[in-house]
Amino acid sequence: MQAEISSAKNVLELTGINKSFGSVVANKDVNLAVKAGSIHGIVGENGAGKSTLMSILYGFYQADTGAIRVDGREVGIPDSRAAIAHGIGMVHQHFKLVENFTVLENIILGAEEGAFLPSSRRKARLELQRLAKEYELQVDLEAITENLPVGVQQRVEILKALYRQARILILDEPTGVLTPSEADHLFRILRRLRDEGKSVILITHKLREIMDATDTVSVMRRGELIATAPTSSMTKESLAELMVGRRVLLRVDKSPSKPGEVVFDIRGLNVRDQRGVRMVKDVSFSVRAGEIVGIAGVAGNGQTELLEALAGNCVPESGTVLLNDAEIAADPFKRREAGVAHVPEDRHAIGLILSFPLRENASLGYHRRPEFGTSPMLKRSKLQQYAQAYISDYDIRPPNADLRTSLFSGGNQQKIVLAREIEHDPAVLLVGQPTRGVDIGAIEFIHRRLIELRDQNKAILLVSVELDEIRALSDRILVMFDGAIVGEASPDASERELGLLMAGIAEQDQGRG
């Protein structure tokens, strides 16, 4: 098997791909070869650079340096049209389908021939019937897309790529929205495609899928492609270790925590996202005064939805949230008034209003409190005073409360949010990705401030995809996988142990007895 694979020729070669966004290096000297008639898995944590690499391949981004060869010939891929012309097809994580079109219309969209549809339709129908038979991709061509289950919609995406004569098919986290049986069907289709000589690139963070479905696997970490090997030579454990890597532990000076009473108690929380997919599954845990509980996990395993539900930004399907044994309603205003402060994961989208001056953002959400005026008027002098205090206490630069918030750097914007949420004396602080996109100096400051807050006997819930951060700050670590809390670990747990939990391995092994 292995010999057979290595003898096949490379249908796709990437050499020396580099890509930076500003000062952030997303891909660093990446070399990748994909063989004809194989399923090639790419694994890595969130932010490892998988998606960037695939976006370069599909023409969404241009590499800063490096070459792409298809069938040994160097090609330029300035846009997705060029990618399609070279036989590269992509199935996105979020489908790109027109929901109220029929399946057939979606498939021929952009690939119609001539100005009139009937002839393209006729031709497409014949071709699609052939493809469906060949690859077990049965779909009702006349069905309205939005009425189909997600698994079938995904098949439409695959058909779309095949109809455009894709020979290299990229699937980005294809099983995220699928039920287990739908996922099994998908993998049957992928194997069939491979057997017909197509090449499949499967991007995932689920190690089970890599082990079950791929012939070759590449591991990415921090923008680099650090290993490529036949899947048969790897184990889930060795992959998890490669994925997480051995990293220098962030050093945060902290004394042992002295946890007090349970302050924040979550019982049986279930949350569905807007698509109706259950993202948080029966989550129960509690946070005590004077401790930091960290939620670790690969991004997309329900942490975002958990945090949003706890902050009151979405109404959970079921479950209760108790603060000092009293239930608090799922409303951001009531939560904040009760003493639950929230530093959101995405400060640009929901933490700040970027077009407003710092002065106004520094008190957004607290502006109704009497210190800003007991009449309907909002005291500008008070806004200014609070903003100035934050500027000096948190060393926000430039120290100008009148400046538009969009003109501050990421680290300084984050300090504005932190100052606002911390300085109103909350009982519980929910913090999501506190140092995402934040420079090193600010990271250290933010970490120190969170530890100080803990030592003031506050309860802190920290959600971060940065394992280093979780380990450096937390007194207890809960690991989320697929919407559920799959285990608890101490911050001294090994990378390996945490990595396995994060990859959902422990749970599955138990399940298999």
Partner 1 sequence: MASFLNIRRIVDFAVLPLMNVAVALLISGLVVLFVGQNPLEAVGYLISGSLGSGEGIGFTLYFATSFLFTGLAVAVASHAGLFTIGAEGQAYLGGLGIALVCLSLDRFVPWYVTLVPAAAAGMLFGAAWAFIPAYLQAKRGSHLVITTIMFNFIASSIMIYVLVNLIKEPGSMAPQTRLFDKGGLVPKLGEILPVNIGTAPLNVSLFLAIAAAVFVWVLIWKTKLGFEIRSTGANPAAARNAGISYVKITIVCMLISGALAGLAGVNILMGDLGKLQLDFPAGIGLVGVAVALMGRGHPVGIAIASVLFGVLYQGGAEISFWMPNITRELIMLIQGLVILFAGALSLMFRKSVYSLVDLFRVSKPEV
Contact positions toward partner 1, by CB under 8 A? 311, 313, 331-337, 342, 344, 349-356, 360, 364-365, 367-368, 372-373, 376-378, 380, 404, 407
State the pairing for strand pair 459-463/292-296.
parallel
174 vs 434, beta carbon nearer partner 1: 434
Q: Which helix (H) or strand (E) holds 64?
A: none
Supply the minimum distance, in Å, between the C-beta of residue 272 and partner 1.
18
Quick one: CA torsion of 505, 232, 39, 63, rounded to 10 degrees? 80
Our CB check for partner 1 shows the closer of 103 and 352 to be 352
**374 versus 510: smaller Cβ distance to partner 1:** 374
Name the minimum Å distance from CB 238 to partner 1: 42
> In this complex, which beta carbon is closest to partner 1, that of residue 255 or of residue 381?
381
Least separation, in Å, of the C-beta of 426 and partner 1? Answer: 13
Q: What residues contact residue 426 under an 8 Å CB cut-off, 6+ apart?
A: 336, 339, 340, 341, 458
The residue (of 209 and 360) whose beta carbon lies closer to partner 1 is: 360
Least Cβ distance, residue 94 to partner 1 (angstroms):
18
Q: Coil, strand, or helix at residue 427?
A: coil
Q: Rounded to an integer, what distance in angstroms lies between the CA atom of residue 268 and that of residue 26?
A: 38
Within 10 Å of residue 390's Cβ, how many Cβ atoms?
24
Give least dist CB 372 to partner 1, A.
7
For residue 391, what are its two tokens? 């500027």
* Amino acid type, 230: P
- Written as six digits, the tokens of 386 are 């609070």
Q: State in angstroms the smallest separation of the CB of 375 from partner 1.
A: 9
Q: How far is the CB of 146 from partner 1 (least distance, A)?
A: 17
Rounded Cα–Cα distance for residues 243 and 263 (Å): 35
Closest approach of Cβ 350 to partner 1, in Å? 4
Q: Which residue number, 377 or 440, has a Cβ lying nearer to partner 1? A: 377
Cα dihedral 130/133/135/136 (nearest 10): 150
Residues 6+ apart with CB under 8 A from 286: 262, 264, 265, 266
Smallest distance from the beta carbon of 345 to partner 1, in angstroms?
Answer: 11
What dihedral do alpha carbons 308, 310, 315, 318 form, nearest 10°? Answer: 130
Q: Are 423 and 454 in contact (CB under 8 A)?
A: no
Least Å from the CB of residue 47 to partner 1: 23
Asked if residue 135 lies in contact with residue 168, where contact means CB atoms within 8 angstroms, the answer is no
For residue 205, which of 217, 223, 187, 190 has the smallest C-alpha distance?
Answer: 217
Least gap, CB of 271 to partner 1 (angstroms) = 16
Cα 160 to the chain's mean position, in Å?
25
Q: Which is nearer to partner 1, 404 or 436 (CB)?
A: 404
Please name the amino acid found at residue 126. Answer: L
**Alpha carbon of 438 to those of 28, 85, 360, 434, 447: distances in Å?**
20, 40, 22, 8, 12
33, burial (CB in 10 Å: exposed 0-12, middle 13-18, buried 19+)? middle
* Residue 72 or 398 having the CB closest to partner 1: 398
Pairing mode, if any, of strands 39-43 and 199-204? parallel
Alpha-carbon gap, residue 429 to 451, rounded angstroms: 12
- Peptide bond preceding 316: is omega within 30 degrees of 0, i.e. cis? no
| Cβ nearer to partner 1, comparing 334 with 448 | 334
Tokens 């289950």 label which residue? 149
Q: Which is nearer to partner 1, 175 or 363 (CB)?
A: 363
Between 110 and 398, CB nearer to partner 1: 398
> Which CB sits closer to partner 1, 354 or 427?
354
DSSP E strand stretches across 76-198 = 88-91, 168-172
Cβ at position 380, least distance to partner 1 in Å: 8
Residue 409 structure tokens: 């750097």
| Distance set, CA 113 to CA 110, 141, 499 (Å) | 9, 18, 50
> Chain-centre distance of CA 225, in angstroms?
19
Q: Which is nearer to partner 1, 246 or 380 (CB)?
A: 380
- Smallest gap from Cβ 364 to partner 1, in A, equals 5
